[in-house]
Structure 1
Amino acid sequence: MSGATFEPFEPRVAVASLSGESDAAWARRAAPHVGCTFMGGIALDAATREAARAMVEDRDRTEFLPADPVEFVERELSELADAPVRGAFNVRTTTLDPLRHAAEICADRGAILEVNAHCRQDEICAAGGGETLLRETDRLAEQVRTASGAGAAVSVKVRAEVDGVDLVTTARACERAGADVFHVDAMDSEPVIADLREATDLFLIANNGVRDRETAHEYLGYGADAVSVGRPSDDPELLERVRRAVEEWFEAHPPGPGGGVSV
């Protein structure tokens, strides 16, 4: 099942490279093999940008810190406009105004705005962004409502196995706040996808270790609507292998009414 207003992308494979460069040029290289490209994650506000600057100094992680983050979102989505793939942007923020502006840009371009509740870098978490939001459900839901209210399709990127976090409760709160997509880094807890499938109507994207037919079919068997490839997102042979596996799965298990999975 998927969110009532969310238009599923096809093929149901995404790339989400959050550990390296992930701009329009990267997205274009993946486009022949996937249905959606999650660019970013971009630090939007003062607190997360200060954290990103510390990450540049400590670990040379420059990909999160364009000079003007909202302009960067607009430019990269514009450069992707004629590519046969749906654009998406993963963003990190602790305040709502820049999130709203980025969501408006995504809405204008039919792109997905993804709220990052996933990053576990110490600097981002200390600023109140990333994984911190998983423990502060009200703040996470507020970000979702803001992005949804701006007209964007909204995804929330999360990770499993976070101490003290009930991911099903978090997912339900995000769904009530207007999220369409739950993008789950399952870590070593793949069955969490089945729990989320039973509990919500969100469009579920399963991530972590997706490399081949076996890993893709495992997640889809638990009820995922799509899978995403992370670090090897620049490997076209792997992406094509995953795409073939996903298309094979859905030939045997056609999506149900509204585009969701029929199992």
Structure 2
Amino acid sequence: MTDAVFDPPVALASLSGEADAEWARQASEYAGAAFLGGIALDAPTRAAARELVARDRTEFLPADPIAFIDDQLAALADVPLVPGFNVRTTSHDPLARAGRVCADHDAIIELNAHCRQDEMCAAGAGESLLRDSARLCAQVETAAETGAAVSVKLRTEVEGVSLPALAADLDAAGADYLHVDAMDSESVIADVVEQTTATVIANNEVRDRESVVEYLSYGADAVSVGRPSDNPVVLDRVTSAAESYLSEVSP
């Protein structure tokens, strides 16, 4: 485990338009970290978010996204977990402002290079950033300069993208966490771990001891739970499995 891992080594993964402070609070006894959001920060991504809402997807669209981040993180000040906020942007000024807010709350800012919705990719955010490592690394550098810890949410199985190579670039740019949706390529976690000193959080179908052990045995520092993050039965099972496994392999 790296020094930056949280305890317990289980995170709640952001659910677009659903993962707010109350969601994190309700599950906090099972998690060491919670990524709120995602939230669109600038005009192109907010326009894309409105298009997503128009076709019945859920998105956070507050009038002032920076104030929203501030208010949501403030609401978690008394909750014993590491908060984070997943953000989408194509421009650096709102990213820097969001990063400074996260730094003020000792929170992680998480850059979304994960969303594969057509509208968000067409805007130049989400998964499209995986194919443009220079733009993504520049966002990491901007976020890191604010003093906030920086996470990047990634996904595997994107044509033409070598995730281990990208992981090395993101590490060099200043990423503290790589939050990897492994899709159906779970073993890529081991390849990413080899290329980075960042804390690696493994995501996708984390439900039980088998899935937890698989990811941790590949070298992940932590796992994250997405859709079942409001299910205490699943969360208890995942947290117990993670703590048990790590106690078994610790020297």
Return the TM-score normalized by structure 2: 0.97
2:175 is aligned with 1:176: no
Partner of 2:23: 26
Query: In the aligned structure 1, how far is the partner of 2:66 from the partner of 2:163?
Result: 29
Partner of 1:75: 71
Query: In the aligned structure 2, how far is the partner of 1:223 from the partner of 1:64?
Result: 34
Query: In the aligned structure 2, how far is the partner of 1:190 from the partner of 1:235?
Result: 23
Contact 1:90-1:113 within 8 A present in 2 as well:
yes
Indicate how the Cα distance of structure 1 residues 225 and 60 shifts in structure 2: closer, same or farther if over 3 A, else same. closer
Q: Percent identity among equivalent residues?
A: 59
Partner of 2:119: 123
Larger deviation, residues 153-162 vs 51-60: 51-60
Query: In the aligned structure 2, how far is the partner of 1:237 from the partner of 1:19?
Result: 22
Indicate how the Cα distance of structure 1 residues 72 and 19 shifts in structure 2: closer, same or farther if over 3 A, else same. closer
Of 37, 41, 61, which aligns to 2:38? 41
Of 7, 10, 34, which aligns to 1:10? 7
Partner of 1:194: 190
Larger deviation, residues 157-166 vs 65-74: 65-74
2:54 is aligned with 1:57: yes
**TM-aligned CA deviation for residue 57 of structure 1:** 1.1
**TM-aligned CA deviation for residue 7 of structure 1:** 2.9
Q: Structure 2: which 5+ runs fail to align?
A: none
**TM-aligned CA deviation for residue 60 of structure 1:** 4.1
Matched to 2:45, the amino acid is: T
Contact 1:185-1:206 within 8 A present in 2 as well:
yes
**RMSD over aligned Cα, in angstroms?**
1.1
Larger deviation, residues 217-226 vs 64-73: 64-73
Of 225, 228, 232, which aligns to 1:236? 232
Can you list the C-alpha shifts for 1:162-202, whole angstroms capped at 9, x where unaligned?
A: 00000011111111100010000000000001101112111
Matched to 1:24, the amino acid is: A
